[in-house]
């Protein structure tokens, strides 16, 4: 399965050259310092390892939970009293703001006693970044991730080995710390279940992995969507979003991304009201030059982002900071171990210089509130000119995204594999738009988890929208309202009327007079 030959852009060449230099510098320095990477507590941070046999490679900072499970010491873990459910990560019940994992595990176990379907329905209301291992029957053990796979899960073909980092699984398959693979070209993730490591697959949303067999079972969608008005959906999801934020805040204070886009603005609208008594810090990053040093920033996307965020902060009296990332200087100061850590943890690099800067700024003392998954609910994939009645809709979208990197035969095989192993046929779609399911399971869930793995060095990530009940509710809004982001605009108008008419992602700043 080879990458197709292609002629990369100048920027792509620069990126490839930079990452190649990372590799060369890493090998030379690591050999010179004779370091043990597994002794570094930032290698495979916030990860886990589940194995039916004795693992060959275990990070030294992982604690053993039972005879099969090892988890990073920085992650909370709880098991139900009947031993049928184990949950680890950051989780909040959006109905009650409950965040104690022991209580959540108990509720999930009670649901599981009724049926596996009832268990999954209960999971719909658990927001966060987590994984659940459960026993639906005496001799069957399965694992699921959160609503959008923000807690990454990778598994071997036979399902006997499961990890939270793709390379950690590759290490165990090889029996040693293997060379990292840097995927510079595929910044949007990989198609289907594949990863750049042979024999390593990714578990995507709405499916459960049976441990010991490697088989997948689809548990969502469960039935056709109802059609609900925007006002009714706002009334449903606002309390859930509020509870998600209230629960997560019990762990650590927040730092909240704020940009010129509608997703972060909507999250901010609720968060700043919920935490008014203990205001959070909002931040926007910029690169290389400080804003005051930029003469003509009118058409600079990243500068406009920061300027709009500053304007919002002034209007709402938010505590806001623009964090300057000097990319060139930061790259010069990467140590050998830092380079190795970035390469090992995530197989495609998002922005290592940003992560290092934010690590120095926040030092894992905060939870980062993000909004990346909102595109699922905003009909983001309408560019794909297919319908659920199109026989090869999955292949067509996959080919559109990846035709520069894989040949058609390979993409067809990956598409067929995904549809077969996850039981995603037309009947399974019910009346869902196939483009929404693709955006959910392939668009967002194949790239965002790797971004969060990279930034795990700086902070834990929490997305208050990341509950299946919330996503389902927003998918029930008529298509036109989803395309126009009606729900998001209504939330902003309700909680932040001062900025309800402020342009979304303006091309210039200040905006040109109409």
DSSP string, 405-458: TS-HHHHHHHHHHHHHHTT--HHHHTTS-HHHHHIIIIIITTTHHHHHHHHTTT
Phi, psi values for residue 226, rounded to 5°:
-85, 160
Q: Are residues 432 and 478 in the same domain?
A: no
Q: Please give the DSSP secondary-structure letter assigned to residue 209.
A: E
CA separation for the pair 4, 13 (Å, rounded): 16
* Dihedral angle, C-alpha 492, 497, 499, 503, nearest 10 °: 60
Write down the pLDDT at residue 181: 79
Mark whether 356 and 467 lie in a shared domain.
yes
Question: Do 148 and 201 belong to one domain?
Answer: yes
- Residues 303 and 422 both lie in one domain: no
CATH of the domain at 463: 3.40.50.620
Supply the pLDDT for residue 389: 82
Residue that is last in its domain, among 218, 240, 256 = 218
* Whether the Cβ atoms of residue 492 and residue 266 lie closer than 8 Å to each other: yes
Q: 180 and 251, same structural domain?
A: no
- Within a domain: residue 41? no
Same domain for 242 and 286, yes or no, is: yes
Q: Are residues 432 and 416 in the same domain?
A: yes
Is 128 part of a structural domain of the chain? yes
Asked whether residue 31 is domain-assigned, the answer is: no
211, 85: one domain: yes
Read off the CATH number of the domain in which 65 is found.
3.60.20
pLDDT at 184: 56
Domain annotation covers residue 169: yes
Same domain, 141 and 106: yes
The domain of 311 spans 230-375+448-499
DSSP string, 30-97: HHHHT--GGG-TTTTTT-EEEESS--S---TTEEE-SSSEEEETTS-EEE-TTSSEEEEEEEEETTT-
- For residue 20, being part of any structural domain is answered with no
Q: Is 13 a member of any domain?
A: no
Residues 424 and 477 grouped into a single domain = no
Choosing from 218, 246, 264, the residue where a domain stops is 218
Amino acid 22: pLDDT: 40
For residue 306, being part of any structural domain is answered with: yes
**What is the dihedral sign for C-alpha 246, 248, 253, 255?**
negative
The answer to whether residues 470 and 417 belong to one domain is: no
CA dist., res. 149 & res. 162, Å (int): 14
Do 168 and 153 fall within a single domain? yes
pLDDT, block means (10 residues), the chain with 514 residues? 39 40 39 62 96 96 97 97 97 98 98 98 98 96 98 98 97 91 72 94 98 98 97 98 98 96 97 92 80 47 90 97 86 87 88 92 96 94 85 94 93 97 95 96 94 96 98 97 97 97 91 63
| Domain assignment of residue 5, yes or no | no
Query: According to the model, what pLDDT value does residue 123 have?
Result: 98
Residue 25's pLDDT is: 39
Query: Structure pTM?
Result: 0.91
Q: Which of 421, 440, 459 is a domain's end point?
A: 440
Number of domains in the chain: 3
H helices within 250-392, ranges in order? 262-274, 301-316, 327-332, 336-345, 352-362
Tokens 């490839």 sit on residue: 16
161-163 and 48-51 beta bridge pairing = antiparallel
């Amino acid at each position: 399965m080879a990458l197709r030959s292609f002629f990369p852009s100048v920027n792509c060449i620069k990126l490839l050259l930079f990452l190649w230099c990372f590799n060369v510098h890493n090998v030379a320095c690591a050999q010179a310092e004779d370091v043990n990477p597994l002794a570094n507590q930032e290698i495979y941070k916030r990860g886990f390892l589940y194995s039916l046999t004795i693992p060959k490679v275990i990070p030294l900072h992982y604690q053993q939970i039972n005879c099969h499970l090892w988890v990073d010491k920085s992650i909370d873990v709880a098991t139900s009293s009947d031993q049928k459910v184990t949950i680890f990560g950051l989780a909040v019940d959006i109905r009650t703001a409950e965040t104690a994992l022991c209580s959540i595990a108990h509720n999930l176990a009670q649901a599981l006693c009724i049926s596996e379907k009832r268990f999954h329905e209960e999971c719909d209301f658990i927001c966060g970044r987590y994984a659940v291992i459960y026993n639906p029957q005496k001799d069957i053990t399965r694992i699921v991730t959160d609503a959008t796979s923000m807690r990454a899960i990778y598994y071997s073909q036979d399902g006997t080995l499961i990890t939270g980092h793709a390379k950690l699984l590759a290490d165990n398959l090889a029996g040693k710390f293997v060379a990292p693979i840097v995927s510079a070209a595929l910044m949007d993730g990989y198609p289907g279940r594949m990863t750049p490591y042979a024999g390593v697959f990714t578990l995507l949303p709405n499916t459960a992995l049976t441990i010991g067999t490697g088989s997948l079972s689809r548990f969502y969608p469960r039935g056709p969507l109802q059609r609900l008005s925007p006002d009714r959906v706002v009334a449903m999801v606002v309390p859930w979003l509020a509870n998600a934020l209230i629960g997560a805040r019990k762990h650590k204070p927040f730092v909240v991304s704020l940009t010129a886009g509608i997703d972060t603005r909507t999250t901010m609208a609720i968060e700043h009201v919920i935490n008014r008594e203990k205001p959070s810090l909002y931040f926007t990053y910029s690169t290389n030059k400080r804003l005051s040093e930029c003469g003509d920033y009118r058409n600079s996307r990243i500068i406009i982002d920061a300027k709009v965020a500053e304007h919002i902060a002034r209007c709402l009296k938010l505590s806001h900071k623009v964090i300057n990332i000097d990319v060139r200087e930061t790259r010069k100061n990467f140590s050998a171990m830092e380079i190795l850590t970035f390469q090992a943890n995530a197989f495609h690099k998002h922005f290592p210089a940003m992560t290092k800067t934010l690590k120095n700024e926040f030092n894992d003392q905060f939870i980062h509130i993000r909004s990346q998954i909102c595109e699922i609910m905003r009909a983001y994939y309408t560019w794909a000119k297919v319908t659920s009645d199109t026989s090869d809709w999955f292949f067509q979208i996959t080919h559109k995204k990846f035709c520069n990197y894989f040949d058609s035969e390979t993409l067809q095989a990956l598409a067929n594999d995904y549809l077969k192993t996850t039981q995603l046929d037309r009947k399974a779609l019910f009346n869902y738009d196939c483009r929404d399911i693709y955006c959910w399971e392939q668009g967002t869930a194949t790239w965002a988890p790797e971004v969060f793995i990279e930034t795990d060095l700086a902070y834990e990530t929490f997305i208050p929208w990341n509950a299946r009940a919330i996503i389902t509710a927003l998918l029930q809004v008529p298509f036109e309202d989803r395309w126009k982001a009606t729900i998001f605009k209504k939330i902003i108008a309700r909680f932040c009327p001062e900025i309800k008419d402020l342009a979304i992602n303006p091309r210039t700043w200040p905006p040109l007079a109409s």
